[in-house]
Structure 1
Amino acid sequence: MKPAKPSLDLVRSVTDEHVLRALIQHRRLTRAELAVEIGISKPTAGESVRRLTERGLVADTGERTPGGRGRGRVGLYYGLAPKLGVALAITITPAGVAAECIDVYGEVVARTTRPIDRPVHPSQVAAALEEVAAEACAAAGQPARLAVVGAADPVDRETGRLVQLPDAPFLVGELDPAAILAPLEVVVDNDVNWAALAEPALRDFAYLYLGEGLGCAIVNDGEVRRGHAGLTGEIAHLLTTGPDGRAVRFIDLFGELSLRREGTTAIDVDRLLASGSATHEIIGTAVAGVVAAVVALADPQEIVVGGSWGPALLDRIRPAVDRMPRRVPVRAATLTGEPVLDGVRVDALTRLRASMTTH
């Protein structure tokens, strides 16, 4: 039996997708240039441009190639239609709520922020989220097609709601970003997962976030492993080695060392970094105990350390890890500026382009 031939509609759909991707990459092309770029005939390229123009996805740019007087026919340049829509890249952190609008070319065309108070009030965060999304889109002059959100709290895998766990330093409560940003398509994930996904060229590793809060992302075969409820990597309650060799929950160690912000479980980063060598030695040993647990359960190729104080204590963490039965390379995160936002941006752009080329 001969294999079934693809339908004409499928062939046209694939051709249109290739045309859109070529215009995303090159910004403007003539029908002849599209034919060469994609490897199709000029009539096929022309028909695709006609279909996409009718759908409002492609437009004549008004630019022309040199032509006439022996130089051939004048060619019309086509590009993506203006104001096709943007993707929202949003972060929710103790510092505030920030939203960026990213266009299909990957450019940030608008950004707005809102500070939030401490202690955090869920109603304030919800209002800030709604406001920054609306203001960013207004500044971009384009509607949002979707939103990707990174939150400094655990995220329920099934619902996308933020989860309030004991001892979490950033207690937003059960915030529901998808409901606030409706009717947009909304993707929500934990900030540490986004930071891990932003690390370049890694497929099997554990990303240890050590800052005001404590977190871990497990990446295997290039995918974040989130667990049944999406709570994989919540390391605060792991038992590790505390002062004088006693077993202690990881989060409680910082209370015993008087390194918490007053009235919260958030780690006082400035005080931690300014503490003495003996304290850093204790913390390094405790982190190594956490690494040992992660290695035993997840078997990562390496440990990547990020956050506001983790990389600064690597000279204490590495020797302690080397004393463990199963050694694993430990290094600082590659991205140090806004790794969470970097991860959110990449995913938002990928989803935006897919929404334009597959519909």
Structure 2
Amino acid sequence: MILSLFCASLLLAAGSNASPCKLQSGNWTSSSTTGAKAALNRDGHGSAAINQLGIQAKSQESALPSSTSASNPGPSLTASGSSGSSGGSGSSTSGGSGTSDISGSLTPASGSCPQGFLNTVFNTNAGQSSGFPSATWNALTEYGIDSWIGFSLETLDKQSDYDLSATQNSQLSGAFNKAQIPIVMDHTYIQSAVAMLASNPPPYLELYNEPDFSFDGLTLTEDPAPSASDLATILNAPHPNTKFISPALMDANGPWLGQFFQACNGCIEHIDVIALHVYNPDPQGVLDQITQLYATWNKTIWITELSPATSGCDMSPSTMASTYINVLIPEILKLPYVEKIFWNSGESDSTPINGAPASCSPSLTNPDGSSTAVLQALGAACGISPSTATS
């Protein structure tokens, strides 16, 4: 399931981060079931990457890092098109081992991207593809995809929300599960996350998925102040082997994150990565969002959802490969603070995303799991192809 076209169109027409599909702005909207929440998590939702909003949190200078926008001007696509290189370490989160018929993550033998830079997103309809997970994951790793984010705290073989067949479920083990970056979806997952940190700590843990937006009233919204109190339970739990990713917002440059850090009494020091969701068919608009976020927080950024798919997207996959990926990825690589990108979507998906026309498909794989022109372009932007990638 995805965000309705009605909601997406209203978002774009509204021209702000206020969502007409959001039930209320008080403490936590109600949610029908966990399954319904996960099923609706096809992210992006239109306006965040297009609107250039003021940072309300900037008025709270005593508690927030100072802006570096003067010394970190955003890149311009009129500049040199050379790929440059990223200074981010891009450490891999995937173990690349285990007994599974899914191959381990492949890392680039050469190319301009750091190891672990290319990653993807699996949405809750991923299991509708016949090639998922084995053929799909094999194709992705052949082109340098290192890890993935799904809308789940648990591995997918334990998640009924992904509605996998018995055959698919039996394949979800080993390297595939090790490559997952789990998400604490909302405050109802807090205790499970603490238990995970104690028993099976992941290398990274994302804290909340778009708490500033409710999908058709089925997913929870979370206000910044109570979120700071709830997430303190996780931040204060022993986690020597886990790094924390900030809440990933629909509008990362809006007021929510600043209000959260203001309320959490210095917890920004425990956040290793700032997450960014950006959906925009204009590469310059994407770069503007990235540089604005860094100028505010001066921290490593992961673009945990990236795609041009919006109602304003008029490109085909081949155009997406040639004029979007080939332009945008080299420019992102010039930003040393961007450590990873996660392209949405990793799976085959014939359903329109974010109100985009079906012709604007960002899918990295076909239904049988084979690579699309979009996946091939991502790999090529990093100098990776099946002939150059090594296990």
**TM-score bucket of the superposed structures, by smaller chain:** under 0.3
Where is the strand percentage greater, Structure 1 or Structure 2?
1
Which structure has more RCO (C-alpha within 8 Å, separation ≥ 6)?
A: 2
Query: TM-score scaled by structure 1?
Result: 0.26
Query: TM-score scaled by structure 2?
Result: 0.24
Where is the helix percentage greater, Structure 1 or Structure 2?
1
